[in-house]
Structure 1
Amino acid sequence: MGVTPEFFSIGGNRNPAAADWDVSGSNLLAYGADNCIALWDPSLLHGVQSVLRGHGGYVNAVKFFPTRSSDLSILVSGATDQSLCIWRVTRDPEPTFNLIQTLREHKSSIIRIATLPGSDVFATGSSDGTVKIWKLIHDARFSTVRTELLQTIDLSPKYFPLSLALGNLDESSVVLAVGGTRSIIQIFVSQDTQFQLSATLTGHEGWIRSLDFTRETSDNDSDLFLASASQDKYIRLWRVHPGEELPAVSSALNDPSLGVLGKSLSNKAHRIESASSKYSITFEALLLGHEDWIYTSSWRRRDGKLQLLSTSEDNSLAIWEADLTSGVWVCITRLGEISAQKGSTSATGSAGGFWIGLWSPDGDSVVSLGRTGSWRRWTYSAPEDMWKQQVGITGHTKQVKGLCWSRDGSYLLSTGSDQTTRLFSEWKRAEGSSWHEFSRPQIHGYDLNCIDCVCNLQFVSGADEKLLRVFDEPKGVSGMLNRLCKIDVTGVDLPDAANIPVLGLSNKAIQAVGDEEPVENGGDDEREAVDPASIVRKSTLDFDHPPFEDHLARHLLWPETEKLYGHGYEISAVAISRDGSMVATACRASSIDHAVIRLYDTKEWLEIKPPLKAHSLTVYALQFSPDDRYLLSVGRDRQWVIWERGAEASYELKHSNPKGHSRMILDGSWAALHQATFLTAGRDKAVKIWQVTDKEIILKGNVVATAAVTAVACNQGISTSMLQFAFGTEVGEIYICSAGAEKLDKITVTKANPEVSPAKAINQIAWRPTRIGLKQQIAVASDDSSVRIFNVSV
């Protein structure tokens, strides 16, 4: 059996240094995603290409090393595990990635990496208060690479180097700018191979978040510009000018609009020297326009003009350019969200700012990463002279705890600790198909733990808030899935859309109104203003591409129709019967009183009493048998229990095994065989196969794993003469197993390639109900914040 990746979804890390776009020809964008590095080609519409595993901690810094080769890239990454990894990326014809060196010289998290085009020197900054200067020693094809530590700079006064930039002063000298958790910028100049502190630039009033060097013109002898972005909401430009004479005074200082900042705008000249010449550094311009902290600023030369891209906590990207007549730097383009739309939750507008902004290698596209882990992309359209938003990629930013396919397998729902539920489906079009996030049904205030579908238009999710919520698909989402994914819904009366009221936790159904229709005030008091979030225009829900992040966060919620109460602690498991008539749930428990299983009917949403008592600790997983005759429950108390359906839709204890495994049982699943058969997976590194007879339950076979087994799932869509199942472990391994119905002790086991497997524990595996040719598909939810879909060829 072969296991090949079909789709990866993984959110980006919120760190301004955690992404870089390769300018040397691969067009790959690398970004930190939990403790992995995700690689994405923004020009293609198939999401993340691959995910690199190598770090043990959260990845803070990612940087491409300039190789000047179109078929070869070197990637440098740093993480909270104090390690610096060097990767070699080759393209022949598919990209292949090899970890060639891991360095552990820093004593704390690595938070920044700076490289210099045309040089083999790079710098790393760490929260141990040091900056280290390295040299990459390699041959022309980078087939042998080793790294030499040239110097360790102890920052004084001590601070965290949140930003670093390297620039060429002249042929013999390099300049290093360092900023961070103080309002100063320190300038170091290299003498031979050692850097020495040469100047300290003052003027900012907040931490320095970003630094970037460039030449004023494309001539290598022109002045060097340094852009510094700070949490004081301003960007300062500094000019490094050769010679004893100072440059002409910048007219920016005479700008009348800067009157309020008169005190901090000193034009003091800082003198620095390289081995061969003298330089001055003077303040050049102040860029005003952002309303909140600025995280990144980066230079690019477009159409012969020097432009600066900045991203800010105020939910905007700005592109700056010097006015040709006055020389004053002005914002020529602003992209992102209007700050007036900031609301109480991400559902009503507050996206939490843009943490990363990057230019594409050709300068005609920009991308940004927001708080929700999603990448947005804009491309410049010359005929219309405007920047147009394009389809980006999205993903969870914390552990993915649960997932389930819709009843017909047309879409996948996932939910997790980032407090969102996401719907993924296939965009089908003439050129082919690709997977995307099409809706974000639930944006919540609690971590979400489990999810299951009642029918194709309804699901139930359980969270840390002790209750379960039921959601119905709205008309706007249904119409979009029909247009783009060819998912047909007929003859069902659905609400138009949903929103979260300010200060609310529940999604309310709302009406979609035509673009020309006036908005009616439903209240008695005519003076009351209408909440703009309670209205959605029909044109907002009508688009011919997968939704952008602002659509997902605001317009594609599902209305909540029911709440299920009864549990006393956080919900740990939920399962829906095969006929969709019943919900079984359990919660975290340390006593027999709370370790009960509660049943609800899905017509009236009333609890079927009494609750089922047998377990003494948390129930981790529940599943109904294919014919709904049995309900399987497994738990922390190391026992599995089989409940049999009695009269009036209630279940009664049929069998239990208090010593089913020697450690806690983490998951269980029913097989689709003639004889009732189920599997249990435990922390004792075993998957056991059990068969139900009239009098007893017999252990028919087992599979031993190398680590605790955290998830198991049987394929219900194959013939009843065959057992096929998948299981996952707490170190991210995925195994596909099969056996004949009569030979359950002879099991064939195939392990998925570790390079495409998750980097952390697997929380759930689900087989897709529909078969695609000779392929089956499984979806995998993991603690590394990824949702992955694999093709399994049988």
Structure 2
Amino acid sequence: MGFTSEFISIGGNRNPAAADWDTNGSGLLAYGADNSIALWDPSDNELHGVRSLLSGHTKAVNAVKFYPTGPNDISIIISGSSDHTIRIWKSNPEDKFDFELVKTVSEHGNAVTRIATLANSNLFATGSSDGTVKLWKLIQQNDFATIDLELLQTINLSPKYFPLALALAKLDESSDILAVAGTKTSIQIYVSRNRSFELAATLTGHEGWIRALEFTHENNSPESDLILASASQDKYIRLWRIHRGEDLPAASSALNDPALGALGKSLSNKAHRLQTETAKYSITFEALLLGHEDWIYTASWLHRGQTLQLLTTSEDNSIAIWESDPTSGVWICSTRLGEISAQKGSTTATGSAGGFWIGLWSPEGNTVVSLGRTGSWRRWTFASNEQMWIQQVAITGHVREVKGICWARNGSYLLSTSSDQTTRLFAEWKRDEVLSWHEFSRPQIHGYDLNCVDSITDSQFVSGADEKLLRVFDEPKGVATMLNSLCGIETSNLELPDAANIPVLGLSNKAIQAVEDDAPTEATDGDEREAVDPASIMRKSTLDIKHPPFEDHLARHLLWPETEKLYGHGYEISTVATSNNGKLVATACRASSTDHAVIRLYDSAEWLEIKPSLKAHSLTVTGMQFSNDDKYLLSVGRDRQWVIWARDSEGVYSLALSNPKGHSRMILGGSWAPLERTFLTAGRDKSVKIWQFTDQEALVKATISASSPVTAVTCCNELLDGRLLFAYGTEAGEVGIGLTSPSSIEEVQVSTISVKSSPARTINQLAWRPLRNGGQQQLAVASDDGSLRIFNVHP
């Protein structure tokens, strides 16, 4: 059986060091995504997004850096993680997205938080929250056939602090310079002598923790002065000049800048003296950059022709590009991207991005990308003919475990819910011959972790969270129109509100109508009590979208209005299932007693609970599914039993059959097969069982063994060339696909998706895309590693 990866969506880790853009020619951007490293080519015109994930780390990836390989066609990634390890990855020359893990070292005693490399050298440095910085030598042949690491030196930071920023540069032919800063307000400068770094200076002036350091030369000449940028939680960036020679450089005019006002007192031009084997150096304060209103996370240099530019990202939701004014020499912010900070402090539901954690230049310098709190990337490209930065389509993804997924009834789009408290809608953008998957709507931004979701109709879904109730959402006209124009998805129901928003201090998405662009928004009679909340106003032009929406649209304008709440459960909702005719919703919650482990049924016409509730399980119900004809409801639970509920002539469900020992461990998944009275169960006892039942009993027809506990199972709802097709997922992230013939069910062929393509952690749910016109099979996979994946399956 053949498998290909169709789509991967995963959000980035919120660590300023957890991403890097390769300048060696591959064009790849690598970023930490939970325990994995995601590879994305932002310059890909077909917008395929994340192409592969490198799995190996066992905890969150904090630092990712491309090692400078020069003109080689091989890329090397160095990664550091909370699992205390440093790992080296090498690319396959035939496929730039295919990397293999070639070296793992665990010399640090705690999480590795920072990595700094040095161009044209085999030296790199790592910083860890064990309070040390380690210097490494990468040993390799010219073609990188073999790679090894040698630990050159361990620097114990004194007084002990956590390094949050490292920078390396070549000082002269005999020495390198290392800058270290972190959870204190000073920068320590180390200079190498005889391959060993020694503390040479301590730079003071910042008033908060220092988050970013980067060296560059003042101009394109390697003989020019080094400039060090340091960015801090005190909202300021300081520039320091490292000058060769006994004489001090000319005093910076920045010190006399009247804009600095009272800050002038804290600006000292004290010279720090350094000495190497061949020369003497001085470090002096060069400039103070003002403009950010909150913590600054990253700072990175770029030489654009003769102009030196600095890119910074901040918690104030902005990205700034700084350059020195040619006449006065004062550093000014020439470009500001992102959002106005008026939204600061508000939630993502009212439009705040929550700050930018990472900012990177493209290798050519004509594109910048940034990562925000929601795990989504934003991308701007400089349009030279318009002399401005234009936002482009980038990638999004969940930042916590993906708990539930479901396809629309007609298979046109995919919904996912996650512990990151969002529900997201993914669909295919169709343009000419090119197809690419994108997030097109964020229907729900919630205050609780979301656990499950199911479609009721093509334009309505229900989701359950840790808040003991379920919420029903209807598609707004703005989203329906966008999906129709960009994805070719027809909608039958146009009696819809235009959009939705969350009112201030509210918890529920309220329907709102869009207004014309020139309509007034203030209360007409001047009464302040009647003033309109600007967040509740949406202009029609806002919903006129010609491409997959950017993150600011997703976070603010593409919510779905909530139409109903379903009450009744006493604990967190664990699972939800909708009947195939859309008339019933079955739900269950976490439970440790028979009274709470009940299944409640709701009628989708009036949204009333159908009494009595279904009582049989004694512990949490982990999965439910209605049979294809809705005659039966299958439920499975942590109490190791499965139960079949049958519908009588009046439409009432009652207990028909149960097996209190269906598996020897808890049952975590169940699914109906498109055969008469046939279903599958998946258990922690590392097995999938295929059952067939009569009115009196059920028999196991086949047992499929797995290498680890099976956490999810799903069966394709139509026979494929007369054969049964099903998929299961395990706690280790393995995905297995099974094929069997109805006439000989016990003979099951099982294929597994390769380890490189599989999720790195527990699989929570699998969903086959409803077949349309006999197209190829597609399987959606939701996992604890934060990824949502779609595979093409070729039986």
Q: TM-score, normalised by structure 1?
A: 0.99
Provide the residue aligned with 1:355 in structure 2.
Answer: 357
Q: Distance in 2 between matches of 1:10 and 1:639?
A: 34
Once the two structures are superposed, the pairs formed by residues 90-101 of structure 1 within 5 Å of their partners are 90-101=92-103
Judged with a 3 Å threshold, the aligned counterparts in structure 2 of structure 1 residues 482 and 140 are, in CA distance, closer, same or farther, namely same
Structure 1 residue 90 displacement after superposition: 3.1
* DSSP-derived class of the 1:72 partner: coil
Could you tell me which amino acid in structure 2 is paired with residue 678 of structure 1?
F
Judged with a 3 Å threshold, the aligned counterparts in structure 2 of structure 1 residues 521 and 112 are, in CA distance, closer, same or farther, namely same
Structure 1 residue 257 displacement after superposition: 1.3
Once the two structures are superposed, the pairs formed by residues 250-289 of structure 1 within 5 Å of their partners are 250-289=252-291
Judged with a 3 Å threshold, the aligned counterparts in structure 2 of structure 1 residues 719 and 126 are, in CA distance, closer, same or farther, namely closer
Q: Distance in 2 between matches of 1:461 and 1:523?
A: 41
Tell me if 1:132 matches 2:114. no
Provide the residue aligned with 1:441 in structure 2.
Answer: 443
Q: Distance in 2 between matches of 1:312 and 1:344?
A: 16
Deviations 1:241-290 (A, max 9, x none): 00111000000000011121122101100001111100000000000000
Structure 1 residue 504 displacement after superposition: 1.1
* DSSP-derived class of the 2:747 partner: coil
Q: Distance in 2 between matches of 1:524 and 1:642?
A: 63
* DSSP-derived class of the 1:289 partner: coil
Structure 1 residue 350 displacement after superposition: 1.8
Deviations 1:696-750 (A, max 9, x none): 2111111011100000000013359421100000000000001000111110000
Could you tell me which amino acid in structure 1 is paired with residue 567 of structure 2?
Y
Structure 1 residue 98 displacement after superposition: 1.1
Deviations 1:567-612 (A, max 9, x none): 0000001000000000000000011110000000000000000000
* DSSP-derived class of the 2:139 partner: strand
Q: Distance in 2 between matches of 1:640 and 1:537?
A: 51
Q: Distance in 2 between matches of 1:573 and 1:277?
A: 70
Q: Distance in 1 between matches of 2:649 and 2:350?
A: 47
Deviations 1:484-523 (A, max 9, x none): 0000113531110000111111000001111122236499
Tell me if 1:502 matches 2:504. yes
Contact map agreement 1:208 1:229 (CA 8 A) in 2: yes
* DSSP-derived class of the 2:479 partner: helix
Gaps of 5+ in 1: none
Once the two structures are superposed, the pairs formed by residues 471-490 of structure 1 within 5 Å of their partners are 471-490=473-492
Q: Distance in 1 between matches of 2:385 and 2:767?
A: 47
Tell me if 1:718 matches 2:715. no
* DSSP-derived class of the 1:401 partner: strand
Judged with a 3 Å threshold, the aligned counterparts in structure 2 of structure 1 residues 523 and 683 are, in CA distance, closer, same or farther, namely farther
Deviations 1:626-679 (A, max 9, x none): 000000000011000000012432200000100100000000000001x21000
Q: Distance in 2 between matches of 1:178 and 1:364?
A: 29
Provide the residue aligned with 1:599 in structure 2.
Answer: 601
Provide the residue aligned with 2:157 in structure 1.
Answer: 155
Deviations 1:6-48 (A, max 9, x none): 0000000000000000000000000000000000000110010
Structure 1 residue 344 displacement after superposition: 3.3
Structure 1 residue 144 displacement after superposition: 1.2
* DSSP-derived class of the 2:724 partner: strand
| Identity between Structure 1 and Structure 2 (%) | 69
Contact map agreement 1:720 1:741 (CA 8 A) in 2: no
Q: Distance in 1 between matches of 2:252 and 2:549?
A: 45
Once the two structures are superposed, the pairs formed by residues 612-691 of structure 1 within 5 Å of their partners are 612-673=614-675, 675-691=676-692
Judged with a 3 Å threshold, the aligned counterparts in structure 2 of structure 1 residues 425 and 70 are, in CA distance, closer, same or farther, namely farther
Q: Distance in 1 between matches of 2:792 and 2:502?
A: 37
Contact map agreement 2:75 2:90 (CA 8 A) in 1: yes
Contact map agreement 2:26 2:96 (CA 8 A) in 1: no
Provide the residue aligned with 1:739 in structure 2.
Answer: 740
Structure 1 residue 695 displacement after superposition: 2.4
Contact map agreement 1:672 1:720 (CA 8 A) in 2: no
Could you tell me which amino acid in structure 2 is paired with residue 732 of structure 1?
G
Contact map agreement 1:71 1:90 (CA 8 A) in 2: no
* DSSP-derived class of the 1:553 partner: helix
Once the two structures are superposed, the pairs formed by residues 568-587 of structure 1 within 5 Å of their partners are 568-587=570-589
Provide the residue aligned with 2:67 in structure 1.
Answer: 65
Provide the residue aligned with 1:761 in structure 2.
Answer: 762
Provide the residue aligned with 2:549 in structure 1.
Answer: 547
Tell me if 1:56 matches 2:55. no
Deviations 1:103-142 (A, max 9, x none): 1100000000000111110000000000000001111111
Tell me if 1:39 matches 2:36. no
Provide the residue aligned with 2:79 in structure 1.
Answer: 77
Could you tell me which amino acid in structure 1 is paired with residue 192 of structure 2?
S
Q: Distance in 2 between matches of 1:665 and 1:268?
A: 69
Provide the residue aligned with 1:5 in structure 2.
Answer: 5
Partner residue of 2:220 out of 212, 218, 221? 218
Higher mean C-alpha deviation, range 281-290 or range 642-651: 642-651
Contact map agreement 1:732 1:760 (CA 8 A) in 2: yes
Contact map agreement 2:460 2:474 (CA 8 A) in 1: yes
Q: Distance in 1 between matches of 2:536 and 2:792?
A: 41
Q: Distance in 1 between matches of 2:698 and 2:745?
A: 14
Q: Distance in 2 between matches of 1:41 and 1:772?
A: 33
Structure 1 residue 341 displacement after superposition: 2.5
Could you tell me which amino acid in structure 2 is paired with residue 769 of structure 1?
P
Provide the residue aligned with 2:454 in structure 1.
Answer: 452
Once the two structures are superposed, the pairs formed by residues 773-792 of structure 1 within 5 Å of their partners are 775-792=776-793
Partner residue of 1:516 out of 510, 515, 518? 518
Could you tell me which amino acid in structure 2 is paired with residue 680 of structure 1?
T
Could you tell me which amino acid in structure 2 is paired with residue 35 of structure 1?
N
Paired residue total: 793
Contact map agreement 1:26 1:70 (CA 8 A) in 2: no
Structure 1 residue 71 displacement after superposition: 1.7
Q: Distance in 2 between matches of 1:718 and 1:315?
A: 51
Q: Distance in 2 between matches of 1:524 and 1:205?
A: 45
* DSSP-derived class of the 1:395 partner: coil
Q: Distance in 1 between matches of 2:346 and 2:699?
A: 55
* DSSP-derived class of the 2:756 partner: helix
Structure 1 residue 91 displacement after superposition: 3.3
* DSSP-derived class of the 2:263 partner: helix
Partner residue of 2:428 out of 420, 426, 440? 426
Q: Distance in 2 between matches of 1:719 and 1:235?
A: 62
Could you tell me which amino acid in structure 1 is paired with residue 640 of structure 2?
R
Q: Distance in 1 between matches of 2:154 and 2:136?
A: 9
Judged with a 3 Å threshold, the aligned counterparts in structure 2 of structure 1 residues 524 and 708 are, in CA distance, closer, same or farther, namely farther
Judged with a 3 Å threshold, the aligned counterparts in structure 2 of structure 1 residues 545 and 467 are, in CA distance, closer, same or farther, namely same
Q: Distance in 2 between matches of 1:749 and 1:598?
A: 36
Judged with a 3 Å threshold, the aligned counterparts in structure 2 of structure 1 residues 256 and 522 are, in CA distance, closer, same or farther, namely closer
Judged with a 3 Å threshold, the aligned counterparts in structure 2 of structure 1 residues 336 and 772 are, in CA distance, closer, same or farther, namely farther
Contact map agreement 1:342 1:348 (CA 8 A) in 2: no
Q: Distance in 1 between matches of 2:303 and 2:310?
A: 9
Provide the residue aligned with 1:20 in structure 2.
Answer: 20
Gaps of 5+ in 2: none
Provide the residue aligned with 2:166 in structure 1.
Answer: 164
Deviations 1:149-174 (A, max 9, x none): 00000000000000000011111110
Provide the residue aligned with 1:30 in structure 2.
Answer: 30
Provide the residue aligned with 1:111 in structure 2.
Answer: 113
Moved over 6 A (4+): none
Could you tell me which amino acid in structure 1 is paired with residue 684 of structure 2?
R
Judged with a 3 Å threshold, the aligned counterparts in structure 2 of structure 1 residues 38 and 385 are, in CA distance, closer, same or farther, namely same
Could you tell me which amino acid in structure 2 is paired with residue 25 of structure 1?
G
Contact map agreement 1:342 1:349 (CA 8 A) in 2: no
Q: Distance in 1 between matches of 2:607 and 2:682?
A: 31
Contact map agreement 1:84 1:110 (CA 8 A) in 2: yes
Contact map agreement 2:292 2:316 (CA 8 A) in 1: yes
Contact map agreement 1:216 1:223 (CA 8 A) in 2: yes
Q: Distance in 2 between matches of 1:268 and 1:762?
A: 58
Higher mean C-alpha deviation, range 228-237 or range 691-700: 691-700
Structure 1 residue 620 displacement after superposition: 0.4
Contact map agreement 2:52 2:98 (CA 8 A) in 1: no
Could you tell me which amino acid in structure 1 is paired with residue 79 of structure 2?
S
Q: TM-score, normalised by structure 2?
A: 0.98
Partner residue of 1:557 out of 556, 559, 570? 559
